[in-house]
Structure 1
Amino acid sequence: MDKNETVELVNFLAEFTHDPLKFVYAAFPWGEGELKDMDGPEKWQADLLADIRDKLKTPSEVIREAVASGHGIGKSALVAWLILWAISTFEDTRGVVTANTATQLGTKTWPELIKWYQRFIGKPLFTITATAIFSTEADHQKTWRIDAIPWSDTNTEAFAGLHNQGKRIIVIFDEASAISNQIWEVAEGAMTDDNTEIIWCAFGNPTRNTGRFFDCFHRQRQYWYTQQIDSRTVRFSNKKTIKQWIEEWGLESDFVKVRVLGQFPNSSENQFISTELATAGRGKHLNEAQYKFAPVIICCDPAWSGGDATAIIMRQGLACSLLANFPRNDNDFVIAQTLAQFEDRYKADAVIIDLGYGTGIYSAGKTMGRSWMLVSFAEKSPDPDCLNMRAYIWKEMREWLKQGGAYPDDQQFYDDLVGPETKPRADGVIQLESKADMKKRGLPSPNKGDALALSFSRHVTKKDTWSVPNKNGLYFANNNQRYTPGYNLRKKYGR
């Protein structure tokens, strides 16, 4: 291609700088060769391209596009078109494409790009490799490029450093449900350049009903243009296979919801407490008669590190309330005093503390004359079907929700309940993933959920009496124990 032809091609592509839909119609040989039976994009693809076009007219904010879909709708083709449009219509565009796994990226996402690159009218202007597409101009090969990079929580620099002030940035997540929350958060940091065209697209089967991809369609939906695509509405999907799936699994099954309807499941594959169950208990109103007869149990799940919090909850029968939530825990005595105040105010029948970071709190309570209990999540389960105490109490909490348990209308509490997943075992014993495993998935420690679960760790009976403090500051319970701050009166009075 001579210089004049190159200039002509560049000028032609420049006509579509802010119109990716027209670009797709103009850049590929529709109706010819391999595309002889195709005349352009599917409606859902055209709708997304048109939305980007319209938002580019006033690009004051990040353009965010999210598509949840069943199988075989042509999302990999759309990813290829977006990459070729972004890089060929704006000089020195930079971008990153990632996927749920290196295998997905290397065997599906990128090969689809290579296929469309071979059909692309602007092919002479760019070089494509197994991991990148970049300008053929030697001076621009590092500044005018889009890279395929497998995500990793231990290597986030590729996402953190994606700045391109005054030009264009494109970030594409393929099979986004399984991409770590941490990568989403780091990628968000690359969206801060002013006076810059920034396009962020997330595609995938909606396999998880937690995480950032799920949030695009729910609590963060006001920031995203979203579509949920039913595979049956696309011309080239395999209708015979889809019909078989529906007959075998049923239209309301999670299998069909995820793989055909583009809907999020009631419960992710390994999710322990389903979204449906957690939603049913969230913010539910109970009459006092439904729980007043039951013992009052106060539980504390302490935290010392990172973004974790110390959670204190109270459960009485089917009713649960959040008493306190502290950023970490800098002082065991402060937490112990808070627990003591709650114990007295609500006339608690038991106070239970997680052994993990709770020994100091327990010791402080003991100094104050409190008979609290420590529970280790690692201790032996009373149920042989559960690996340890943590699995057992979460199982009991799930049963409590099934029986009508109610907890506060609190998003973090809800996220804690639906967050943990099980680890499949050959023997069928229930094992929950560890908090460390959850953090690898970009999820915080489920402190509120763990605090509520603690209330099922010990059998607690209701005390016969519980008096208010008398003028000497003494408290009386059914076992005649007397408490006053800092002194064990049982010893003094020989009780």
Structure 2
Amino acid sequence: MIYARPRLMDAIAHYIRRPGDFVRDVLRAEPDPWQEEVLQALARGENVVVRSGHGVGKTAVAAWAILWKLACFPRARVPATAPTQHQLYDILWPEVGLWIERGGLHDLFEWTATRVAVKGYEKLWFAVARSSNRPERLAGQHAQHLLYVVDEASGIEDVTWQVIDGARTTDGAVILAIGNPTRRSGGFFDAFHRHRKFWRAWRVSSETSPRVSRQWVEEMREKWGEDSDVYRVRVAGEFPRGEADTFIPVDLVEACIFLDVPEGGPAELGV
């Protein structure tokens, strides 16, 4: 059993409370401050949502969260999903395998292309990759220690969010949702706006990340401009001002809604 493993036996209670130390001691990585804060929020039982630019380490923190949950919580289950098979099977899942390798955890975990399980408890204690194009496969994942990981969450459709919400009926079931903020609609956008009170939210910009090349940031700035939606989404980790199928950009509508118009003044007619 995992708790009899000498390397983790004495420290497991500490790692449950301090996942950043799990990353340092077991996975042999140094988390950025925001990554450690995200992991700490999960340890407190909070739902976490992160919007960011490219290259800041959001896939790494998702992989760390998966392995921390499996290593430290008995019979944990971690369903992971993404809007595309490429993101899920070619990016997130190999990242999990990478950190199993770096941490020397092959004797603890069995890694396959769609699943990571604790050896000896393969049917009870595992993480599983499920594409969001079949949201019903995410249902029924009830466990005392349940973590949903949603990668590139801006592309997840509402029906998948509804399935995830319906499965979190046990105490302590939490969500980690990460991604570039590509859309001004859907569950990911709502997590930063009308559903904000249910989430612990972060924005991480590529502009300030030590993991991102300054040259790339400057190239994106010069090529697209800081006010472009490409720069906002891919670098600054901000939602776009408008979307391709929108006649009037949403930010202009919001500006009109909250515009402070004084009473009185001359009447004007525009044509």
Q: Same fold (TM over 0.5)?
A: yes
Which residue in 2 is equivalent to 1:343?
none
Matches within 5 A, 1:312-461: none
Higher-Rg member (1/2): 1
Structure 2: distance between partners of 1:78 and 1:259:
18
TM-superposed deviation, 1:173: 0.6
Structure 2: distance between partners of 1:4 and 1:239:
42
TM-superposed deviation, 1:13: 5.4
Contact 2:3 2:9 in 1 (8 A): no
TM-superposed deviation, 1:202: 0.6
Alignment of 1:9 with 2:17, yes or no, is no
Which residue in 1 is equivalent to 2:18?
19
Which residue in 1 is equivalent to 2:162?
185
Q: Secondary structure at the match of 2:146?
A: strand
Which residue in 2 is equivalent to 1:90?
73
TM-superposed deviation, 1:6: 5.0
Structure 2: distance between partners of 1:49 and 1:283:
36
Structure 1: distance between partners of 2:41 and 2:168:
19
CA offsets per residue over residues 130-151 of structure 1, 9 Å max, x none?
00001110xx211101100101
Alignment of 1:250 with 2:249, yes or no, is no
Which residue in 2 is equivalent to 1:212?
187
TM-superposed deviation, 1:126: 1.2
CA offsets per residue over residues 156-209 of structure 1, 9 Å max, x none?
222221111xx200001100001001101110011112xx32220110000111
CA offsets per residue over residues 309-347 of structure 1, 9 Å max, x none?
xxxxxxxxx9xxxxxxxxxxxxxxxxxxxxxxxxxxxxx
Alignment of 1:133 with 2:131, yes or no, is no
Residue identity matched to 1:115: L
Contact 1:127 1:134 in 2 (8 A): yes
Contact 1:100 1:179 in 2 (8 A): yes
Residue identity matched to 1:278: V
Alignment of 1:163 with 2:142, yes or no, is yes
Which of 71, 75, 88 in structure 2 is aligned with 1:105? Answer: 88
Structure 1 pair 185/273, CA: closer, same or farther in 2 (3 Å)?
A: farther
Structure 2: distance between partners of 1:246 and 1:179:
28
Residue identity matched to 1:83: I
Instruction: Name structure 1 gaps, 5 residues minimum.
Output: 31-39, 57-62, 292-317, 319-402, 405-495
Structure 1 pair 5/18, CA: closer, same or farther in 2 (3 Å)?
A: closer
Instruction: Name structure 2 gaps, 5 residues minimum.
Output: none
TM-superposed deviation, 1:241: 1.4
CA offsets per residue over residues 29-53 of structure 1, 9 Å max, x none?
35xxxxxxxxx11121112122233
Structure 2: distance between partners of 1:218 and 1:237:
27
Contact 1:13 1:88 in 2 (8 A): no
Residue identity matched to 1:20: P
Which residue in 1 is equivalent to 2:128?
147
Structure 2: distance between partners of 1:173 and 1:271:
26
Structure 2: distance between partners of 1:64 and 1:158:
21
Which of 68, 73, 77 in structure 1 is aligned with 2:60? Answer: 77
The number of residue pairs the alignment matches comes to 267
Structure 1 pair 115/272, CA: closer, same or farther in 2 (3 Å)?
A: farther
Larger relative contact order (Cα-Cα within 8 Å, sequence gap ≥ 6) = 2
Contact 2:48 2:176 in 1 (8 A): yes
Contact 1:64 1:225 in 2 (8 A): yes
Structure 1 pair 248/184, CA: closer, same or farther in 2 (3 Å)?
A: same
Structure 1 pair 10/236, CA: closer, same or farther in 2 (3 Å)?
A: closer
CA offsets per residue over residues 200-249 of structure 1, 9 Å max, x none?
01100001111110111111111111111110211121221110110122
Residue identity matched to 1:125: L
- Tell me how large the CA RMSD over aligned residues is: 2.5
Contact 2:2 2:108 in 1 (8 A): no
Structure 2: distance between partners of 1:161 and 1:84:
21
Contact 1:88 1:122 in 2 (8 A): no
Structure 2: distance between partners of 1:271 and 1:143:
46
